[in-house]
Structure 1
Amino acid sequence: MITAAAAGLATGLTLIVAIGAQNAFVLRQGLARRHVGAVVAVCALSDVVLIGAGVVGIGTIVERAPVVLTVLRWLGVAFLAAYGVRSLLSARRADGLEAASRGASTRVSAIATAAALTYLNPHVYLDTVLLLGSVANQHGVDGRWWFAVGAATGSVIWFSGLGYGARAAHGLLARPRAWQVLDLAIGVGMLCFAGGLAIG
């Protein structure tokens, strides 16, 4: 059981640690000190739900419904492109830190954005539901749930560390120019993620 949990932890971390749109958003929210707990909770709990869905076999539905992934793909492209453009426009101003300190983003919008970056990404269904679900089921009836616990634990550890670690590093971005650079990097990154989704 411990072996299955350790395998789940390692596999889960391998899949989520790579920098993507969701991680970039968690990082930015942490650095801005805005609704970090809510964003971390949405991302981590979403992974727990998706991992559980994969273990119970929902991955077969994902395999047999490519049209759903296609729709999610193009919705994701549109969302990421819009988010990227918004970040680039924000980078033109030198008041990024001041705006962040005022809490320009509401809790509802932060949660909605985190959810959109999670569920509008077709890779989350391929990686978290289909791939993790398939690997989990190779550990037998009991072992698969220990694998899922390990993978879910990895997700909670990662998003908590990323969000609250960035929150602790807030002082590194005390200058407005640093926020401009961050917004520019995130904007370019989001547009690249959108392009990557668009070309499959």
Structure 2
Amino acid sequence: MQSLFFQGFGLSAGLIIAIGAQNAFVLSQSVRRNRPLLIALICASADVLLIALGLTGVGSIVASSPRLAAWAAWGGALFLIVYGAAALRSALRGAALEPDHDALPGLRELLLGTLAVTFLNPHAYLDTLVLIGSIGGQYPLEQRWIFGSGAVAASLAWFLLLALGGPLLAPLFRRPISWRLLDVSVCLVMWSIAFSLLRDRWPPV
């Protein structure tokens, strides 16, 4: 059971911590101390909603069909391999976060901006509804929610880390080497989970 929790945690963490518009937005507002906890809770709540929908909707459909489950496992593994390769490429290329220092947005603009970078981001649906939902949907109902709770825990932990540690992390992540180390870690997590999916589906010798 613990392995399922940590598999969900590792998959979600690897997907969430990659450089993207949402993380840049959360961290930049955290650096400015502009309601970072509110932003983090909105982003984490959105992940909880999408992960739950994936596990109850897409996951249930996949779990009901062995053929779909097999395709989901192979498709998920392929996506994770490609995703890990993209993270490795980003690590080799290098990147840095440079939050802008314009006037702070008001509460309304802040809420709209948070919802936009969350729900207008196609990767959010791919990561939660499709990928996490499909992989989690391979397990029986009780195990599925253990897997999902690990994914949710990773989301909560990451966004709270960005919110509370933003002022300390921002100077660090302006250095390309920090993003490179993070991207390498993402690559290793994605490839290790892909390997476990392929290993479970590979015919016995």
Alpha-carbon offset, residue 21 of structure 1 = 0.3
> 1:91-115 deviations in whole A, cap 9, x for unaligned?
6xxxx37x4xxxx312222121111
Alignment partner, residue 40 of structure 1: 40
Alignment map for 1:12-51 (pairs within 5 Å):
12-51=12-51
1:118 lines up with 2:118 in the alignment: yes
CA contact (8 A) 2:44 2:155 kept: yes
User: AA paired with 1:106?
Assistant: G
Matched length: 136
Q: TM-score, normalised by structure 2?
A: 0.60
Alpha-carbon offset, residue 127 of structure 1 = 1.3
Identity value in percent: 37
CA contact (8 A) 1:38 1:107 kept: no
The SS at the match of 1:5 is helix
User: AA paired with 1:41?
Assistant: L
User: AA paired with 1:119?
Assistant: F
Provide the aligned C-alpha RMSD in A.
Answer: 2.5
Alpha-carbon offset, residue 12 of structure 1 = 0.5
> 1:137-161 deviations in whole A, cap 9, x for unaligned?
1222110001110000000111111
Aligned equivalents of 1:151, 1:56: Cα separation in 2? 14
Alpha-carbon offset, residue 168 of structure 1 = 4.1
Alignment partner, residue 142 of structure 2: 142
Aligned equivalents of 2:24, 2:48: Cα separation in 1? 20
User: AA paired with 2:157?
Assistant: I
Q: TM-score, normalised by structure 1?
A: 0.62
Q: What residue ranges of structure 1 are gaps of 5+ in the alignment?
A: 61-89, 173-177, 179-200
CA contact (8 A) 2:58 2:137 kept: no
Measured at CA, do residues 24 and 138 of structure 1 come closer, stay the same or move farther in structure 2, by a change above 3 Å?
A: same
